[in-house]
A and B are shown apart, each in its own frame.
Chain A
């Protein structure tokens, strides 16, 4: 990162964003990861790869996703003009598929026959299983036993798509444990297997590669906002689990100083309770899952379990590029609680006729806080990165209703 005038030059050749990122993996995996990097660099430079991806994005995923002016919500909040980037309308119902398409195409190009993935909420697992089915590749998804219990519909969807769902009982049986077991499984079958990571985390080149595949979100917003309002947006808002939908929205705008960015972590029961998933707000620099980044951990460096009502945000880390953007103060990182997300979920359903996933409900909770204080000509874009159908059981449970 020699050019001090850009926020878009990272990572360096060793995968570092300042002190974050890198490649902290066992030697067994190191040569593979170097191979993924080489293959990705070659694919990136190949116009045929880009063209095939654009084809599937348009005709299979359903891109571009609309940029929608949420008029009733805007009136209700009485301030900034609120737009939704509607990535919940993608095939499989979230932004995850943008990245899965890219990675599975890369795996195929590398001659791999088998895809593995970790999943928390099941959205990345479903998207991976979907693309694996599309390309006729075998697929195993590692999912924590606890998450399998609370995300049954997605487990069944993955099985219908022909994927094997491998229950993970190590640790607390949630997303971080699923990622451990996926890494273990990868080490054991390095020859034929490609690991499709679901967010902007993991060893280099994953954080940069996933960001690149998700940047279609921000690239489209730039064009769509130009068409709608004739200018750039003023503020971008997105939720953060590992940070892939946020990076995808933010990255194309990082060097536009007039565009402010706010990312929303999950505060669970509240930061002060210790039961949350806000790695930047409540964590510190550490090393896990192949990268250095902010992590929830105790004084002895043991990683702590995260908590969020949203299984997709329930991760004790955050992508390394976010840690760097936080330190650079280019992006503002805030948090929203389970309760705030639930309220935003219900408000959006009633005002806009959209059931947001619980993940972007956290972003919406932040929009509710900030939009009223902004002028009426302020253009705010929130990433509606997933639809809420998968969450209706969780929401019913939280509201004390029986369905």
Chain B
């Protein structure tokens, strides 16, 4: 099978010898057209991979900022069909930056996992992160996702014991998402040593690239995390730029997000990394 966008992007990052920046925004936040404008600006601003949140009424793993983003999008009429259309429109001009949809299982289940994977692949989606779908329950989505060449990204948490690690990473594709804190998105930040230890623990069980997220809020934190990770995920801090713009503070949403993402990208690229962390995923 030919390599997908996610594998190609990590291979390119490995050649450049730097970590990637993964940016999270919620689809349709604060409304459909502004959300599309924000999305379109991300690659040029320095996003290497885009995580696009599928809004859900009950986001139980998210902190206040991402919760509020989802509610703004839902209030503005965002639906799953509109989210897939947003990806399709983005893809008509941008072919290289991978898009990973992130959300909760129920909206996918209601859409129908098979039909969802077919439509998502057709729209240009490369990966899925379903926060409340652990490996034990994943099969109904994992099978159609694999059939469509979509990576179902697995999450590893600080609480995941070594004995459980194979269950989580075996059969994973794309990359491993390391949740750096025990908490919801956008709250505390992890100590650098704890992140390094978690990443090292994951690398003992898989050759896939490791992206670290949850609790990374500033360019400086992104730079520090980029020393040990293959990619750094920033979500709540970006979404707060939208929140501020909606509140009438600072520049317009798309400008605010693009400006902040550029700072994050600079942070990630400034990381002082040791020799290549590992060969690109084959």
Contact = CB atoms under 8 A, between A and B. Distances in A.
A308 B167 CA distance: 42
A171 B57 contact: yes
Contacts of A26: 60-61, 131-132, 134, 155, 157, 179
A92 interface: no
B191 to A, nearest CB: 15
Interface residues on A, range: 35 or more
Interface stretch (A107-115, A126-134, A219-227, A283-291): A283-291
Interface stretch (B39-47, B104-112, B234-242): B104-112
A287 B106 contact: yes
Residues of B contacting A: mostly:
loop
Contacts of A301: 56, 80, 106-111
Contacts of B184: 184, 187-188
A362 interface: no
A27 B109 contact: no
B221 interface: no
B136 interface: yes
Contacts of A189: 182
Interface string B248-281: 0000000000000000000000000000000000
- Which of B74, B106, B161 has the most chain A CB atoms closer than 10 A to its own CB? B106
Interface string A310-334: 0000000000000000000000000
B79 interface: yes
Contacts of B170: none
A151 B161 CA distance: 41
A173 to B, nearest CB: 13
A183 interface: yes
Nearest to A302: B57
A190 B60 contact: no
A22 interface: yes
Interface residues of B, number: 43
Given A24-B105, A287-B106, A301-B111, A176 B182 contact: no
Contacts of B134: 23-27, 30
B168 interface: yes
B149 interface: no
Residues of A contacting B: mostly:
mixed
- Which of B104, B131, B132, B136 has the most chain A CB atoms closer than 10 A to its own CB? B132
Given A26-B131, A286-B110, A301-B106, A188 B182 contact: yes
B61 A184 contact: yes
B107 A302 contact: yes
Contact of B106 (A22, A32, A303): A303
A272 interface: no
Contacts of A286: 106, 109-110
A62 interface: no
B137 interface: yes
Interface string B173-197: 0000001001110011000000000
Contacts of B11: none
A27 B156 contact: yes
Interface string A275-315: 00000000001111110000101011111100000000000
Contacts of A23: 134, 136-137
Contacts of A28: 61, 157-159, 179, 182-183
Interface string B41-68: 0000000000000001111111110010
B61 A299 contact: no
A189 B159 CA distance: 11
Contacts of B108: 301
Interface in B72-130: 74, 79-80, 104-111
- Which of B60, B182, B188 has the most chain A CB atoms closer than 10 A to its own CB? B60
Interface in A151-202: 170-171, 176-177, 180, 183-184, 187-190
Nearest to A204: B136
Given A24-B132, A171-B58, A300 B79 contact: yes
Contacts of B107: 300-302
A258 to B, nearest CB: 37
Nearest to A181: B60
A14 interface: yes
12 contacts: A23-B136, A24-B132, A25-B132, A27-B157, A28-B183, A31-B159, A171-B57, A176-B58, A184-B62, A286-B109, A301-B80, A303-B106
Interface of B: 56-64, 67, 74, 79-80, 104-111, 131-134, 136-137, 154-161, 164, 168, 179, 182-184, 187-188
Given A28-B182, A31-B157, A301-B109, 10 more contacts: A23-B134, A25-B132, A26-B134, A30-B164, A184-B60, A288-B58, A288-B106, A289-B60, A299-B110, A300-B79
- Name the 10 nearest CB pairs between A and B, nearest first: A301-B110, A301-B107, A28-B157, A188-B183, A302-B57, A27-B155, A26-B61, A301-B106, A27-B157, A303-B57
